[in-house]
């Protein structure tokens, strides 16, 4: 996969069921949420972001596209239990272009694990080091995320290029 980050292409790395429950941590205006909602038509997508404005934009887009399986939640996932979701409530958690912004990455990954059902997965997609688009951003290394995941007893299932500027890691809750 080459070029810039394409949610539809990255999501091909995951096997979906139509009834999955998915949380998108730091969803922004929903670039990943709408493709997820269409893949999981009989499921539920929790779109979680700290800012109200992008969530409002997502609600408007979902209404326009007649997508009704999305629930928006305004909260800070960088806090302990920050998603506000129930324990063991999700099949998949997305963390796309999120961890580079988080001072304590372990808290965010712990929250992802907390809300996952056994066998559930976390998809991490973030900026590659040494990419020309974001030289001012402190990147998150593959190794740092894999080490934190290992400490949390999350199994690395897959690592892949998610475009020219991003990497992807897929973890499973044991």
Instruction: Identify whether 77 is part of a domain.
Output: yes
Mean pLDDT, the chain, rounded, equals 93
Please give the residue range of the domain that contains residue 53: 7-173
Dump pLDDT digits (tens) for 64-84.
999 999 999 999 999 999 999
Dump pLDDT digits (tens) for 121-146.
999 999 887 767 766 666 678 899 99
Instruction: Identify whether 1 is part of a domain.
Output: no
Dump pLDDT digits (tens) for 50-61.
999 999 999 999
Residues in Cβ contact with 31 at an 8 Å cutoff, skipping those fewer than 6 apart: 7
Instruction: Identify whether 132 is part of a domain.
Output: yes
How many structural domains comprise the chain? 1
> What pLDDT is stored for residue 95 in this prediction?
97
Instruction: Identify whether 94 is part of a domain.
Output: yes
Integer Cα distance of 135 and 137 in angstroms: 6
Instruction: Identify whether 148 is part of a domain.
Output: yes
> What pLDDT band is residue 8 in, cutting at 50, 70 and 90?
very high
Instruction: Identify whether 84 is part of a domain.
Output: yes
Instruction: Identify whether 98 is part of a domain.
Output: yes
What share of the chain in percent tops pLDDT 70?
94
Residue 40: φ, ψ to 5°: -115, 55
| Residue 1 predicted with pLDDT over 60 | no
| Residue 2 predicted with pLDDT over 50 | no
Instruction: Identify whether 2 is part of a domain.
Output: no
DSSP SS3 for 110:
helix
Dump pLDDT digits (tens) for 18-40.
999 999 999 999 999 999 999 99
> What pLDDT is stored for residue 139 in this prediction?
67
Report the CATH number at residue 152. 3.40.50.150
| Residue 164 predicted with pLDDT over 90 | no
């Amino acid at each position: 996969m080459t070029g810039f980050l394409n949610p539809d292409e990255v999501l091909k790395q995951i096997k979906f069921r139509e009834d999955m429950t998915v949380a998108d941590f730091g969803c922004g205006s929903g670039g990943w949420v709408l493709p997820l909602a269409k893949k999981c038509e009989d499921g539920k997508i929790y779109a979680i972001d700290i800012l109200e404005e992008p969530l409002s934009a997502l609600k408007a887009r979902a209404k326009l596209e007649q997508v009704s399986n999305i629930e928006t939640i305004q909260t800070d996932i960088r806090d302990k239990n920050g998603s506000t979701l129930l324990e063991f409530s999700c099949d998949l958690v997305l963390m796309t272009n999120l961890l580079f912004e988080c001072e304590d990455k372990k808290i965010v990954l712990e929250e992802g694990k907390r809300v996952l059902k056994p066998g559930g997965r976390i998809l991490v997609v973030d900026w590659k080091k040494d990419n020309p688009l974001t030289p001012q951003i402190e990147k998150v290394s593959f190794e740092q995320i894999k080490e934190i995941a290992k400490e949390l007893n999350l199994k690395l299932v897959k690592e892949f290029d998610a475009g020219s500027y991003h990497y992807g890691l897929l973890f499973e809750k044991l």
